[in-house]
Structure 1
Amino acid sequence: MENVCLSCGACCAAFRVSFDRSELSSEGGTVPDSLADDETAYTARMRGTDYAQPRCLALVGKVGERVYCGIYLERPSPCREFGALAEIGVYSAACNRARARHGLPPLEIAGD
């Protein structure tokens, strides 16, 4: 099965990605500190995802054509959780909201 996420990337350019600071490499996690901004004393967010037109700095390529995560193995938990079902062909309403924001057609949602 082809992973449609590799030709989409809309989620990486649609939502704020906040995560626990313990996921930062300086705190023993895997997310590079250089790609994160402080949010609170306990949370950080992926750089670029807190704008009116968000786009994670780790996203490489053109949304809707060919993309990949530049830190795929080091990505934070919200990214792992969001993409987990998509990797097996199960998509969510949030996925389709992100796709709509970029003018991409919806994917079939599990259970529809």
Structure 2
Amino acid sequence: METSDPAFDAEALCQSCGACCAYSSNWPRFTTEDDAALDLIPEQFVNTKLSGMRCDGERCCALSGQIGVKTACGIYAVRPEVCRTCMPGDPECAMARRRYGLPALVRFPAS
């Protein structure tokens, strides 16, 4: 799915969902970030192993709001790469939405 598709407003979809941010405490991990990028993430959101985001249960501590209703990322501008690559409607999104009983996002072809 292309996020530039006018049928999808990725930011609006994510702000009304948040399921990917509460799917697993192992998911919001650091992967390809360099030290400079990691230094931008506020210390209170980094786990004790320095390997990813701190979570409360399965939910990333940077996430606020109610899953499936209205959510926001407290560090959106400096979020980890794994968070940047999850896109509305992709397999990871669908898996997380299923966990919360939310319908899959389906892109209909333009007419």
Q: Note whether the superposition's TM-score is higher than 0.5.
A: yes
More helix by percentage: 1
Q: What does the per-residue CA deviation read over 1:40-99, in whole Å, with 9 as the maximum and x for residues that have no partner?
A: xxx6111007x4xx100000100000001011111111111114xx3xxxx211111100
Alpha carbon RMSD of aligned pairs, Å? 2.4
Aligned to 1:82: 86
Aligned residues: 95
In structure 2, do the counterparts of structure 1 residues 55 and 101 end up closer, same or farther at CA, with 3 Å as the change threshold? same
Q: Could you tell me how far 1:37 is from its partner in structure 2?
A: 1.2
> Which portions of structure 1, spanning 4 or more consecutive aligned residues, are displaced by more than 4 angstroms?
none
Aligned counterpart, 1:24: 38
Give unpaired runs (5+ residues) of structure 1.
none
Match of 1:99 in 2: 97
Given that 2:45 and 2:62 are in contact with CA atoms closer than 8 Å, whether structure 1 keeps it comes out as yes
- Alignment of 1:5 with 2:9, yes or no, is no
TM-score by length of 2: 0.73
Higher relative strand content: 1
One-letter amino acid of the counterpart of residue 74, structure 1: V
Alignment pair present for 1:37 and 2:37: no
1:109: Cα distance to partner?
Answer: 6.1
Go from structure 1 to structure 2 and tell me whether the alpha carbon gap of 1:19 and 1:108 turns closer, same or farther (over 3 Å shift): same
**TM-score normalised per structure 1:** 0.73
- Determine if contact 1:7/1:63 at 8 Å carries over to the other structure: yes
Q: 1:72 maps to which residue?
A: 76
Give unpaired runs (5+ residues) of structure 2: 1-7
C-alpha contact (below 8 Å) 1:18/1:45 kept by paired residues: yes
Q: Is the contact between residue 48 and residue 54 of structure 2 (CA under 8 Å) also seen in structure 1?
A: no
